[in-house]
Amino acid sequence: MKTFRFTDSQIIAILKQAEADSPVPELCREHGISNATFYKWRAKYGGMDASLMARMKELEDENRRLKKMYAEERLKAEIVAEALTKKW
């Protein structure tokens, strides 16, 4: 099955159509998405506008970077602690 990545504005437009009393199954069929995808989007992006969605993605990226940095620093600290506890 061909995958297609929707832009932020497309996702918001689809969610706004659903808020305007369009039937969800028809809306999903029209845009070629599954009901599960629609409900995931609604849970994650419901009530947001484009600027909030962009800000949320920036924060997710920053969080991912910080987690990676923490993991690397924690690994370094464990290596140093292990080296210090060895008997020479």
pLDDT value for 2: 58
For 23-47, the pLDDT digits (tens) are 999 999 999 999 999 999 999 888 8
Q: Is residue 54 part of a domain?
A: yes
In a domain, 2, yes or no: no
Give a yes or no: residue 1 inside a domain.
no
Q: Which domain holds residue 57?
A: 8-85
Percent of the chain with pLDDT over 90: 62
pLDDT at 46: 85
Q: State how many domains the chain has.
A: 1
Q: Given a cut of 60, is residue 1 above it in pLDDT?
A: no
Residue 32 lies in a domain: yes
- Residue whose C-alpha is closest to residue 31's, from 9, 16, 10, 49: 10
> Residue 9: pLDDT above 70?
yes
Closest among 24, 21, 44 to 33, alpha carbons compared: 24
* pLDDT above 70 coverage of the chain, percent: 94
